[in-house]
Structure 1
Amino acid sequence: MPAINKQDRKAGALMGAFIGDALGLGPHWYYDLDEQRNDYGEWIDGYTNPKAGRYHEACSAGDSSQAGYILEMVMKSCVRKGSYDHTDFCESLENGLFAQIDGSPYSGPGGYTSQSIREAWKRRIGLGLGWDNTAGNADTTEAIERVLAISVLYSDDPKQLAESVLRNAAVTHSDDTILSLTLAYSALLAFLVEGEKMDEEISSKLMAQVKDGRLPFHAVTSGNLEPPKSGQKEKERIGNFASPDALLSPSYMAQAANDPSLKIEPAWKVSIVYGMPCAAYHILPAAYYLAARFSDDFESAVLHAINGGGQNQSRAILAGALVGAQVGLSGIPERFVDGLNRSSELLDLVATFAEL
């Protein structure tokens, strides 16, 4: 198999996210799997139309949800400015998305607006607060779903990645634990874009960036989580977050995926193991597991993410980006790209973004 170049991995990560988003549009938020199967059959294998009365009923198979719309907004802002420009992003959010929603769940692009975006809209538009005061306490992954573009942009610059990701994420999320999980996912995706493997060693490599001060996590242990050595106080890293534990999950999930004595069969049941709801602490372990288990099989990763029900859209976006970064755009089956509405436009945007 020929080596995958960095541009291909960048494009794979971004298109993987768009594909995961659109795959989840129809069967989004079915917490009763029997109901999901009644509506969509035993196995969902592609883009589907939302059913009447469901979350995105005004959309069609292959459309983006609001998550895809905002991801595209981040990318267009970066292309326009040549880098991540926080002021430009906020202006785009206010003049673009916020002008189309009214603070209620069922409004705006994609037909549904998430809690974190509604809260930011209310604080910015309803209360007139500045962008430093728009975040709420949502424990969801919407910030990760848009800042993954920033991860791709700054995959070779951890400090710039951390600064930009955290500033963007803080527009909607204020909880330090969720921000730490957001940065951890972002750093992992950047590693995969740079050609690292989603294996049991990945967390040690991420921790090395904490130790040298490039990722802003607190760390006092030495080596592979060994006790601190005598006289190490001057080397202790006091970062933004209380601990670096969010960086450790990927290796544990990779270990679970590769341990022959530990089986989750079929793989879509990972959503039951880690939980079907929207909170980041349910979504991320499942996405990491699928990205490790199907590191070279994009189709299996995103379809098992979707067929697990619940917040399957976020699960598929995040797993799709991680596996897309590993297989590259060239490793994503053409039917998933061709089935996207506006696929040519998205491919052009992805190609331009990957050149930044």
Structure 2
Amino acid sequence: MPADRLQDRAAGALLGAFIGDALALGPHWYYNLDELRADFGEWITGYTDPRPGRYHAGLKAGDPSQAGILLELTLRSLVERGGYDEADFCRRLDTEFFPQIDGTPMAGPGGYTSQSIREAWRKRVVDGQPWGACGGNADTTEAAERILAIAVRYARQPAELASAVTRNTALTQTDGTVLAMTVAFGAVLGMLVEGHTLDGELSGKLMARVKSGELPFHAVTSGNLQAPTGAEAPTLGRFPSPDALLGPSNIARAALDPGVRIEPAWKASLVYGMPCAVYHQFPAAYYLAARFAGDFESTVLHAVNGGGQNLARAMLAGALAGAQAGLSGIPRRFVTGLARSDELVGLAERLALAV
């Protein structure tokens, strides 16, 4: 792939995530879809102000949530340090971010502080624990939302991507399933930035990277009932199974199969689940990005209009869709409507040059 196209996709993935985050700021966490429609109409098409009394009340259309703020913090660290520097990332949390929160849900920048960040703040600030001992067992996509920048930076270096994503995620979330699914999502995003397609063949390409030792998953491949040996011997990795890598292609096949339809597509939130856990959010993001490949607007708007934890859904799907469409393929109104859009575009383009 030409370097300029690669960089367009890398910048598109980052802006897609920022856009998805901001689009869902107003209608975030409506589990009653009738209430969502009553407050925002039948179809949300752009940035909206949060309603009084809601999670992000007081913020304005186009502003980031705390997820977007932490993604920008990660992006700035990557740009200014030339890559993933864990000490620098942790220093920024200690000096720039943690002083703005107090361990309660509704305090701090962005209007809401997630469970895993509250737990990390308590262990680090109140208990004085060192980084490496501050992770908790929250099963959300909180870490996945910030490691998007790491996955883009190392899109062409899958071993480095997996290592950096694993280490960064473990700072705040230590559940093995969360780690495996987050690394897998980062690996998928990296492949889309490279130029691969989110389709039925992608998981096979990911598994080839497992067998080459580039991705830290366990793989057993054998065509019979005997223990695999020789070339089919198990590939041992940090994560106990390759299932998080196999799921994306299964979901993509369903999204592209005319015999399997979710209509309208926003109802993917009902099929895969509206809550916050990774096992609800990643499948819906894969589905929407595969179904609307190349169509950024349809991907993110169906993610937003599905209700529930639509902010994570739109942020993750936005990254995948932005990688597919490239920054040049994202409608300008979504870019210009972001708060501080020029600054975010500049950061994204600087990181893209390093991919």
Give the TM-score band, short-chain normalised. over 0.9
- Map of 1:315 onto structure 2: 313
Q: How does 1:63-212 map onto structure 2 within 5 Å?
A: 63-212=63-212
- Map of 2:294 onto structure 1: 296
Q: Contact conserved, 1:135 with 1:170, CA < 8 A, in 2?
A: yes
Matched, 1:242 2:212: no
Looking at structure 1, the residues matched to 224 and 80 of structure 2 have their Cα atoms a distance apart, in angstroms, of: 46
Looking at structure 1, the residues matched to 183 and 164 of structure 2 have their Cα atoms a distance apart, in angstroms, of: 10
Relative to structure 2, which stretch is displaced further, 2-11 or 28-37? Answer: 2-11
- Map of 1:334 onto structure 2: 332
Q: Contact conserved, 2:228 with 2:234, CA < 8 A, in 1?
A: no
State the secondary structure of the residue aligned to 1:109: coil
Looking at structure 1, the residues matched to 51 and 218 of structure 2 have their Cα atoms a distance apart, in angstroms, of: 46
Q: How does 1:254-293 map onto structure 2 within 5 Å?
A: 254-293=252-291
Q: Contact conserved, 2:274 with 2:280, CA < 8 A, in 1?
A: yes
- Map of 1:7 onto structure 2: 7
Residue type of the alignment partner of 2:104: S
How far apart are 1:229 and its partner, in Å? 6.9
Q: Contact conserved, 1:258 with 1:293, CA < 8 A, in 2?
A: yes
- Map of 2:22 onto structure 1: 22
Deviations 1:149-170 (A, max 9, x none): 0110001111111111011000
Matched, 1:38 2:38: yes
Q: Contact conserved, 1:21 with 1:313, CA < 8 A, in 2?
A: yes
How far apart are 1:108 and its partner, in Å? 1.2
How far apart are 1:46 and its partner, in Å? 0.3
State the secondary structure of the residue aligned to 1:308: coil
- Map of 1:216 onto structure 2: 216
Consecutive unaligned residues of structure 2, counting only runs of 5 or more, are none
TM-score after normalising by structure 2: 0.97
Residue type of the alignment partner of 2:220: V
How far apart are 1:236 and its partner, in Å? 1.8
How far apart are 1:233 and its partner, in Å? 7.9
How far apart are 1:231 and its partner, in Å? 2.7
Residue type of the alignment partner of 1:65: S
Looking at structure 1, the residues matched to 39 and 262 of structure 2 have their Cα atoms a distance apart, in angstroms, of: 25
Q: Contact conserved, 2:220 with 2:232, CA < 8 A, in 1?
A: no
Looking at structure 2, the residues matched to 4 and 298 of structure 1 have their Cα atoms a distance apart, in angstroms, of: 19
- After superposition, the Cα gap between the structure-2 partners of 1:272 and 1:83, relative to the gap in structure 1 and judged at 3 Å, is same
Deviations 1:144-197 (A, max 9, x none): 100010110001111111111011000110100000000000000000000000
How far apart are 1:220 and its partner, in Å? 1.3
Residue type of the alignment partner of 1:284: F
Residue type of the alignment partner of 1:171: L
Report the identity percentage.
Answer: 61
Residue type of the alignment partner of 1:212: S
After TM superposition, the runs of 4+ consecutive aligned structure 1 residues lying more than 4 A away are: 225-230
Measured on the aligned residues, the alpha-carbon RMSD in Å equals 1.5
Looking at structure 1, the residues matched to 118 and 228 of structure 2 have their Cα atoms a distance apart, in angstroms, of: 50
State the secondary structure of the residue aligned to 1:138: coil
Deviations 1:30-86 (A, max 9, x none): 000000000000000000000000000021000001001000001111111111100
- After superposition, the Cα gap between the structure-2 partners of 1:4 and 1:259, relative to the gap in structure 1 and judged at 3 Å, is farther
Q: Contact conserved, 1:151 with 1:190, CA < 8 A, in 2?
A: yes
How far apart are 1:228 and its partner, in Å? 6.7
TM-score after normalising by structure 1: 0.97
How far apart are 1:235 and its partner, in Å? 3.5
Looking at structure 2, the residues matched to 27 and 165 of structure 1 have their Cα atoms a distance apart, in angstroms, of: 29
Looking at structure 2, the residues matched to 271 and 61 of structure 1 have their Cα atoms a distance apart, in angstroms, of: 23
Residue type of the alignment partner of 1:151: A
How far apart are 1:255 and its partner, in Å? 0.6
How far apart are 1:272 and its partner, in Å? 0.2
Looking at structure 1, the residues matched to 334 and 213 of structure 2 have their Cα atoms a distance apart, in angstroms, of: 39
How far apart are 1:230 and its partner, in Å? 4.9
Q: How does 1:52-67 map onto structure 2 within 5 Å?
A: 52-67=52-67
Looking at structure 1, the residues matched to 230 and 264 of structure 2 have their Cα atoms a distance apart, in angstroms, of: 46
Looking at structure 2, the residues matched to 313 and 173 of structure 1 have their Cα atoms a distance apart, in angstroms, of: 19
How far apart are 1:226 and its partner, in Å? 7.2
Residue type of the alignment partner of 1:292: A
Looking at structure 1, the residues matched to 235 and 316 of structure 2 have their Cα atoms a distance apart, in angstroms, of: 29
Looking at structure 2, the residues matched to 231 and 109 of structure 1 have their Cα atoms a distance apart, in angstroms, of: 54
Q: Contact conserved, 2:119 with 2:135, CA < 8 A, in 1?
A: yes
Looking at structure 2, the residues matched to 129 and 103 of structure 1 have their Cα atoms a distance apart, in angstroms, of: 15
State the secondary structure of the residue aligned to 2:132: helix
State the secondary structure of the residue aligned to 1:69: helix
How far apart are 1:318 and its partner, in Å? 0.4
Residue type of the alignment partner of 2:26: G
